[in-house]
Amino acid sequence: MTELRATTNDLPHAGDAPASATPVSAQALANDVAIAATQPATPGYVAVDPSKTNLFDLDRVSLEDFFEQTLGEKRFRAHQVMKWIHHRYVTDFNDMTDLGKALRAKLEQHAQVRVPQVVFDKASADGTHKWLLGMDPKNAIETVFIPDKGRGTLCVSSQVGCALNCQFCSTATQGFNRNLSTAEIIGQVWVAARHLGNVPHQQRKLTNVVMMGMGEPLANFDNVVRAMSIMRDDLGYGLANKRVTLSTAGMVPMIDKLGEVSDVSLAVSLHAANDELRSELVPLNKKYPIAQLMEACVRYALRKRGTSVTFEYTLMKGVNDQPQHARQLLRLLRQFDNAVQMKDAAKVNLIPFNPFPGTRYERPDDAAIRSFQKLLNDAGMIAPVRRTRGDDIDAACGQLKGQVMDRTRRQAEFRKKLESQGLGDAA
Ligand code: SF4
């Protein structure tokens, strides 16, 4: 399922706070898709034309190259087109009125601006908004916008499904289909920004993007980095580096690679502060254990003075919510602070687990959550507990569900497990 975060702040990686109590079932999704079929076509939707370059795939430099090398035009023309697309949400070249007729004809011949198809969208009473976006005829993902005091956060997916298999993550139960292209990633931002009437540098309603939806962003490195470059570009969405956050389950070498090419905020799905437990919850930990992961985080933080790293910790009843777990977490994060020689360099977000059908994990009761938090607070660590948003439109943490044509056997196995528990309809 699409595990986009519908929370107020500090959204975690997709699997961090896996589902809520009532994830959208396949039937609900089918209903959404059926209703959507009766809706008018998406404004600006353009069918795939493999002979043309989708300009959503290109960041500033690659678009300049395209203008120079493919169209034989001056590089600065690319800037005009970027503004039309990302600032004014214009996708028809004929409406780009400051381009000459000949250039518009060339663009028509060689390029297209293909926006994701909005299969369905819903607004919550609290201002949260979610979209079901068709990525191709067989796969759909969900994107959620969460407004909150002075900020608006969009939670974006990087893959259809996820190849990692975090045990508490409902996305994991859907298996994996493919990476999203740069166009499909930035297209999620475009759809939300256009809906919000976002005007970069002026009326900015979309102030933050978190790569915390479905998938492991660092497993789709090039496309994610290019999309984040458009998010941060003044000719794109003009977001400051710290307002774009990438969340990873801990792909250590790729954290270093990210540090070489980008300066976005880093979040890590931690969930346990000892290797035995973390390897159970996040199997990737067997390959990149906590010590290696923390060293990579330290290297990331040390590149630039003042950089902090956010650690996401999903609280599961009787699994990782006991006082000894809080003390282990505290120790680990203090070590991080010391290594980067900065107080509060490690930030932590506590995410009460939201159960989904078939999971063996449970949400701790409120008292247990409060005492875990208090133990951290008493030691001087700020540890906010995430507040759920958008639950009236099934957009709360983990309630969202895309459509994954699984290429692994995981989805079928999970369905079988649900059926054996009499929960077949929830698959
Ligand atoms: S890495 Fe994949 S399986 Fe793990 S929490 Fe994130 S989305 Fe879920």
Beta carbons of 377 and 142 less than 8 angstroms apart: no
Residue 35 pLDDT > 50, yes or no? no
Pocket test for ligand 1, best of 11, 155, 162 (most atoms within 8 A of CB): 162
Q: At 161, phi and psi to the nearest 5?
A: 80, -165
Beta carbons of 244 and 264 less than 8 angstroms apart: yes
Residue 301 pLDDT > 90, yes or no? yes
Question: What is the number of alpha carbons within 13 Å of residue 78 lying toward its C-beta?
Answer: 23
Q: Domain of residue 59: give its range.
A: 53-112
**Whose Cα sits closest to atom 8 in ligand 1?**
15
Residue 246 lies in a domain: yes
Amino acid found at 427: A
pLDDT band at residue 276 using 50, 70 and 90 as cut-offs: very high
392 and 249 belong to one structural domain:
yes
397 is catalytic: yes
Q: Return the percentage of the chain with pLDDT > 70, whole number.
A: 84
Beta carbons of 344 and 306 less than 8 angstroms apart: no
CA 209 to chain centre: 8
What is the rounded distance in angstroms from the CA atom of residue 190 to the CA atom of residue 54? 14
248 and 374 belong to one structural domain:
yes
Q: Return the percentage of the chain with pLDDT > 90, whole number.
A: 64
Q: What's the pLDDT at 173?
A: 86
Beta carbons of 290 and 172 less than 8 angstroms apart: no
Residue 7 lies in a domain: no
> How many whole angstroms from 277 Cα to the centroid of ligand 1?
16
The CATH number linked to 307 is 3.20.20.70
- Look up residue 360 and give its two tokens: 């063996």
Mean pLDDT of 143-168: 91
pLDDT band at residue 22 using 50, 70 and 90 as cut-offs: very low
362 is catalytic: no
Amino acid found at 314: T
Span 61-77, pLDDT tens digits: 999 999 999 999 999 99
Domain boundary among 62, 89, 112: 112
Span 221-271, pLDDT tens digits: 999 999 999 999 999 999 999 999 999 999 999 999 999 999 999 999 999
Q: Which atom of ligand 1 is nearest to the CA of 214?
A: 7
Exposed, middle or buried: residue 253 (CB in 10 Å: 0-12, 13-18, 19+)? exposed
